[in-house]
Structure 1
Amino acid sequence: MNIKPIRTEQDYNDALAAIAPLFDTQPEMGTPEFDYMEVMVLLIEAYEEQHYPISPPDPVEAIKFRMEQMGLTAKDLEPAIGRVNRVYEVLNGKRSLTLPMIRKLHSLFGIPAESLINVS
Structure 2
Amino acid sequence: MKAPTINLDAIEIKPITNQADFERASALIDALIDADLIEDEATRNRALDILEAITILAIDYEKKHFPIEKLDPIESIKQRIEMLNLSQKEVAKYFGGENRVSEVLNRKRPLTLKMVKNLYHGLGIPAEVLLA
**TM-score scaled to structure 1, two decimals?**
0.77
What residue ranges of structure 2 are gaps of 5+ in the alignment? 1-10
CA distance in 2, matches of 1:74, 1:54: 29
Matching of residue 5 in structure 1 with residue 19 in structure 2: no
CA distance in 2, matches of 1:72, 1:58: 19
TM-superposed CA distance for 1:59, in Å, is 0.6
TM-superposed CA distance for 1:95, in Å, is 2.3
Where in structure 1 do 4 or more consecutive aligned residues deviate above 4 Å?
none
Q: Choose the corresponding residue for 1:35, options 49, 60, 78.
A: 49
Q: Choose the corresponding residue for 2:80, options 62, 66, 69.
A: 66
Q: Choose the corresponding residue for 2:114, options 80, 100, 105.
A: 100
In 2, are the aligned partners of 1:56 and 1:114 still within 8 Å (CA)? no
CA distance in 2, matches of 1:36, 1:74: 51
Identity fraction in percent? 41
**TM-score scaled to structure 2, two decimals?**
0.71
Matching of residue 112 in structure 1 with residue 126 in structure 2: yes
TM-superposed CA distance for 1:9, in Å, is 3.6
* Farther off after superposition, 73-82 or 34-43: 34-43
- Aligned alpha-carbon RMSD (Å): 2.2
In 2, are the aligned partners of 1:74 and 1:87 still within 8 Å (CA)? yes
In 2, are the aligned partners of 1:12 and 1:44 still within 8 Å (CA)? yes
Aligned position for 2:92: 78
- Within 5 Å, which residues of 2 pair with 1:17-28? 17-23=27-33, 26-28=34-36
* Farther off after superposition, 64-73 or 104-113: 64-73
- Structure with bigger gyration radius: 2
